[in-house]
Structure 1
Amino acid sequence: MNLSLLLVYMLSVLMLVATPGPVVALIVNTSMNAGPRQALLTALGTNAASLLLALLAVLMLTSGLALDPRLISWVSLLGCGFIAWLALQGLREVLGTATGEPVAGAERRRGQGLLTGFLVGIGNPKDIIFFVSFFPQFIQVSRSLQHSALLLTLVWVLIDFAVLGAYILVARQGFSLKYKRLVTTVSSLVLLAVALVGMTYSVLELCRPGAM
């Protein structure tokens, strides 16, 4: 086993997961507004999306599966659209709280953590790029491709749960709860910014000569 390559992979995954992005913003927002249990379900959803992306990456290596770049761009575009919708809903809830008006559907959305997490994860441009382009670079961590794929996926799952679990706990601390509206606003704006950047990139890729 190539331990140095595995260490580089672990560090890369840690930086990718810990860096604020749509998944982290969603987890923090959910933890503060719907509680740690719902946030954990959301984390399970994002992790399931990562497992699916990892499976696609392995299939690309073992069966010669070639994903059409246009398909990747469309998936990313749809995912970013959903992320933007979540961001706008979060901002709407903040405004509703500020004016004292209840936001219709807020409680219903809290019951959709698993599905919401999956949709955000599967459409997260950062994760798509990682598993399609970066993940295969570490597949030689052991001599067996199957063992390598299993090990890399397991490492991802463990680091992902550990980091997102830490975010869930931090979001439930007294300091965070005191500034709940501010944190919710910031996380929603992060979601919106990521969505707009991702949508712009996907549209430019689809409009590139030869892409259509």
Structure 2
Amino acid sequence: MQRLRPEQSVFHEGDPAKRVFMVTHGALKLYTLLADGRRQITGFMFPGDFLGVSVDQEYAFTVEALEETELWWFSRDAFDRFIAEHPQVERELYRLAAHELAEAQRQMVLLGRKAAAERLASFFLSLLERAERASGLPERTFDLPMSRIDIADYLGLTKETVSRMLAHLRSRGLIRLQAQDRVEVLDRDGLRSMAQGESVGLA
């Protein structure tokens, strides 16, 4: 098992891909550096997610802990042997890969077509749905372990815009902040309408 402190890296972009990891506790962010030095966060990982499952010889992104995090890790060879011996795990990984592809496609739409309020509403809905998949129950709240800057770098916005859109969703009665890192959804249908551009929001 590997334990990480907040901001501690699991691996860096370009490192040799020698291990596969599974998140058992906490949360992580994945990011890559653009040619001009800007950071683009490409996703977030939570308990049950796998890291480093790739045919490439190098990791394609950097992974960093958002909070106290625990990981199980396996060598690539040991992981390949385990998968060969447990075909049900291979099927589950295939399902997860298909889900990640769908998330990547949604992210492209999010960045390319949606206004700022729509982006944040979509992101919050995805976190709520993820919390429901983890618990197997309907949920009204979800954790928000990432910083406002992290959210901005994921959604292609500025930190100031994220704060403004957060205030906008609150003023519309769609969400409530139970804490800086805990969100309660007050109006799920309204949040979905905002995410789909059906509500009058801010650009």
- Give me the TM-score of the superposition, normalised by structure 1: 0.29
User: Per residue, is there more helix in 1 or in 2?
Assistant: 1
Bigger RCO of structures 1 and 2 (CA < 8 A, at least 6 apart)? 1
- Give me the TM-score of the superposition, normalised by structure 2: 0.30
